Structures are given as structure tokens and as C-alpha cells.
């Protein structure tokens, strides 16, 4: 637990320590390790988290006075100029505070049935391949093999 909170540790080690603490402490605190149960906990967190409202900034902060001719000229729209800001902006991450979870388009029963069918098809293919090998005429090697007095190669088919 100490390593996951320590600032002196690297981020990879902190994350690893945190994951270890989480997985080992779940049985102690009687928390489930099933993903379905964790998803319900995440849903509760989303509803409890307060939304962060950022203040919308108004114009650049400079107001035109009667004597400021430069500001009046700069506010005029030139051809080819958009109404967007004239300076670079830093991209910000979208907060992942979603309230509506879309319905899943995947039926879990159908997925399980398809997985079972794939397993059965693989077994059937293996058995058919084995039967084809058994039915195929056995071809004897036409090349003579070198015999060894020590018996090398005798235990080849065991």
C-alpha cells in the first residue's frame, strides 16, 4: 500500500502496487471480483460524482473605447477569416461523465451458444482429420534406413 502512494516510486511501479493491493484486498473486504458487479459500482460512482462546470470566458477582456481606433479595425471581419479565436488553443479532455448507458446490442446467450458451436466444430474437424489419416493408404518409405548396432531409432514410435 505504501508503494502505491509513494511519490518516489515510478508510475509503473505505483500502478502495479495499486493493482496488487486491489486484487488481494477484495476477498478481505468481501468485494466481488466479477466484472458485472464492478460495472454496477461504476454506475453508482457516475451518479454520485458532481459535474464540473467551467465558466465560459467572454471576449478577450479588452473593451473598445471611443479613442481606440486600432481595436475597431481589428474587430472587423476580413475575408477568409473565421469567427473563431485567432490564437492557438490547448485541447482539453472530454469529461467522461455520461448519464445514459446505451443498451447493449449483443445478446450474451447468443455469444455463449456461438462459442459452444465453435468448440464443437473444432472437435468435429479434429476427429474428421484423424479419420482421414486412418483411412489413407499407408505408404511405405522406399528409402532404406541405416541400421545401428546400438539400436538408435528403435524407440521411434513409442
Residue 121 backbone phi and psi in degrees, to 5: -65, -40
What pLDDT, on a 0 to 100 scale, did the predictor assign at position 87? Answer: 82
What pLDDT, on a 0 to 100 scale, did the predictor assign at position 109? Answer: 92
Nearest to 18 by CA among 2, 37, 39: 2
CA 59, 64, 69, 70 dihedral sign is negative
What pLDDT, on a 0 to 100 scale, did the predictor assign at position 18? Answer: 87
What pLDDT, on a 0 to 100 scale, did the predictor assign at position 61? Answer: 47
CA 10, 11, 13, 18 dihedral sign is positive
- Ranges of the chain whose pLDDT falls below 70: 33-85, 140-143, 152-158
What pLDDT, on a 0 to 100 scale, did the predictor assign at position 19? Answer: 87
Q: Tell me the pTM.
A: 0.24
| Helices and strands counted in the chain (H then E) | 5, 0
Nearest to 52 by CA among 90, 91, 95: 95
pLDDT digits (tens, 9 = 90+) for 27-58: 787 777 665 666 665 555 555 555 555 555 54
What pLDDT, on a 0 to 100 scale, did the predictor assign at position 60? Answer: 46
Amino acid at each position: 500500500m505504501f508503494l502505491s502512494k509513494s511519490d518516489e516510486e515510478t508510475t509503473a511501479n505505483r500502478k502495479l502496487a495499486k493493482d496488487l493491493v486491489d486484487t488481494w484486498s477484495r476477498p478481505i473486504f468481501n468485494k466481488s471480483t466479477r466484472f458485472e458487479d464492478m460495472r454496477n459500482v461504476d454506475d453508482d460512482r457516475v451518479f454520485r460524482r458532481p459535474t464540473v462546470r467551467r465558466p465560459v470566458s467572454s471576449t478577450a477582456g479588452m473593451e473598445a473605447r471611443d479613442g481606440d481606433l486600432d481595436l475597431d479595425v481589428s474587430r472587423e471581419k476580413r475575408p477568409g477569416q473565421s469567427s473563431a479565436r485567432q490564437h492557438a488553443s490547448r485541447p482539453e479532455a472530454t469529461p467522461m461523465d455520461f448519464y445514459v448507458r446505451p443498451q447493449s446490442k449483443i445478446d450474451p446467450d447468443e455469444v455463449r451458444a456461438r462459442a459452444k458451436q465453435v468448440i464443437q466444430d473444432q472437435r468435429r474437424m479434429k476427429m474428421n482429420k484423424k479419420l482421414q489419416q486412418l483411412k489413407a493408404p499407408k505408404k511405405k518409405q522406399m528409402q532404406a534406413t541405416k541400421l545401428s548396432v546400438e539400436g538408435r531409432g528403435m524407440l521411434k514410435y513409442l
